[in-house]
């Protein structure tokens, strides 16, 4: 097993792996003022929002999830590893997102651990220690499953330097197929989970009117020295490294589709010139969950995301048919239909 000592995020963080995208210019005033119209608003939402506000829809309990903003330093500022979710995905189809997914109940199993204790993570994430471990494990596991990057090593001060061999790929596939638990994977390879390589960044909960709901913790992580991202996610049809500025500009021009949590967490990176600067700010991050609220105001339904006014939408109640359906949408027959499974 090839390993390398853990590299703290900063000017010397590695730049290897992934496709390089040309920097984009900042948005002009017109694109910035119209970003809401270009934002995430699926055709099923008006009917489901109306059903929720009228008491005809019972919210689905959100599933715990974790996602990671995988970063590397570059001349134009930190770059992120982004995946475009396949059009066939039941949740977030066509949107750019980060590696991540739902917590596996087996993520609560004991693992060798480095970094802040589980109790400390519990305080940071607003969870009990066991649940905090599960969320952190999910963040590390999903990053490996969807990008081939592993935040673990043989001891508390090193990380695996290369995960590109056939054996690693077989293990990655076994994790994706849930044939192998993350705890068993780490134990079999005698690895320590490096929780110190993660920084808490944000927490968002899917709106109550959505069919598939997630309570998602967002983390920062620097690409470990020697490792490379790989296009291995079966849930994505494109992967790319983009600077935060280029990704935000692409969204503002209407070229990159993103859900509100993605673009909001991207915008939060804009002030930082290096990965180290971004990590230094994690200690003071507000991890209060962001949850959209919908209310009836006259003839409109107003959708608000507290603290994120750019996503506010005013939906005419006439946008849905009299029976609450949106014509032509696959779930339009009954907006209160419960979710049929969940995608990570």
pLDDT digits (tens, 9 = 90+) for 23-54: 333 333 323 333 333 566 777 788 888 888 88
Total domains present in the chain: 1
Does pLDDT of 90 surpass 60? no
Residue 183 lies in a domain: yes
Q: Which of 156-165, 254-263, 290-299, 331-340 has the lowest mean pLDDT?
A: 331-340
> Strand pairing partners for 65?
102, 216
CATH of the domain at 176: 3.90.79.10
Q: Are 53 and 296 within 8 A, CB to CB?
A: yes
Q: Are 247 and 79 within 8 A, CB to CB?
A: no
**Mean pLDDT, residues 235-239:** 73
pLDDT band at 303 (very low <50, low <70, confident <90, very high): confident
Q: Which of 109-113, 259-263, 299-303, 319-323 has the lowest mean pLDDT?
A: 319-323
R_g of the chain, CA atoms, integer Å:
20
Residue 337 lies in a domain: no
Residue 74 lies in a domain: yes
Residue 342 lies in a domain: no
Does pLDDT of 169 surpass 80? yes
Residue 144 lies in a domain: yes
Residue 224 lies in a domain: yes
Is the pLDDT higher at 286 or at 232?
286
Mean pLDDT of the chain: 80
Range of the domain at 243: 61-285
pLDDT tens, residue by residue, 182-195:
999 999 999 999 99
Residue 217 lies in a domain: yes
Which residues, other chains included, contact 182 with Cβ-Cβ below 8 Å and sequence gap of 6+?
104, 106, 107, 109, 111, 137, 140, 141, 175
Residue 47 lies in a domain: no
**Mean pLDDT, residues 173-188:** 97
């Amino acid at each position: 097993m090839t390993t390398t000592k853990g590299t703290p995020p900063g000017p010397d963080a590695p730049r290897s792996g992934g496709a390089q995208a040309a920097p984009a210019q900042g948005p002009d005033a017109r694109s910035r003022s119209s970003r809401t119209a270009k934002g995430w608003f699926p055709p099923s939402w008006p009917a489901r929002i109306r059903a929720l506000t009228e008491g005809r829809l019972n919210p689905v309990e959100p599933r715990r999830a974790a996602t990671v903003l995988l970063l590397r330093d570059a001349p134009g500022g930190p770059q992120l590893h982004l995946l475009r979710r396949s059009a066939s995905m039941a949740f977030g189809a066509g949107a750019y997102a980060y590696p991540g997914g739902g917590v596996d109940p087996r993520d609560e199993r004991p693992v060798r651990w480095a970094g802040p204790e589980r109790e400390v993570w519990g305080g940071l994430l607003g969870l009990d220690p066991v649940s905090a471990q599960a969320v952190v494990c999910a963040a590390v596991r999903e990053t490996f499953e969807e990008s081939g990057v592993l935040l673990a090593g043989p001891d508390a001060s090193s990380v695996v330097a290369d995960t590109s061999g056939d054996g690693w790929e077989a293990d990655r596939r076994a994790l994706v197929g849930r044939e192998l638990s993350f705890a068993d994977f780490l134990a079999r390879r005698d690895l320590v989970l490096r929780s110190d390589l993660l920084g808490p960044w944000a927490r968002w909960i899917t709106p109550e009117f959505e069919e598939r709901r997630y309570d998602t913790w967002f983390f920062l992580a620097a690409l470990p020295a020697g490792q490379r991202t790989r296009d291995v996610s079966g849930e994505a049809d494109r992967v790319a490294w983009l600077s935060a500025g280029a990704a935000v500009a692409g969204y503002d021009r209407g070229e990159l589709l993103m859900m509100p949590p993605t673009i909001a967490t991207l915008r939060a990176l804009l002030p930082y010139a290096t990965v180290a600067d971004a990590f230094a700010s994690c200690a003071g991050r507000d991890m209060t969950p962001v949850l959209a609220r919908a209310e009836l105001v006259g003839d409109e339904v107003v959708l608000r995301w507290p603290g994120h006014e750019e996503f506010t939408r005013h939906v005419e109640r006439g946008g849905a048919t009299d029976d609450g359906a949106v014509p032509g949408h696959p779930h339009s027959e009954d907006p209160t239909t419960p979710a049929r499974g969940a995608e990570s």
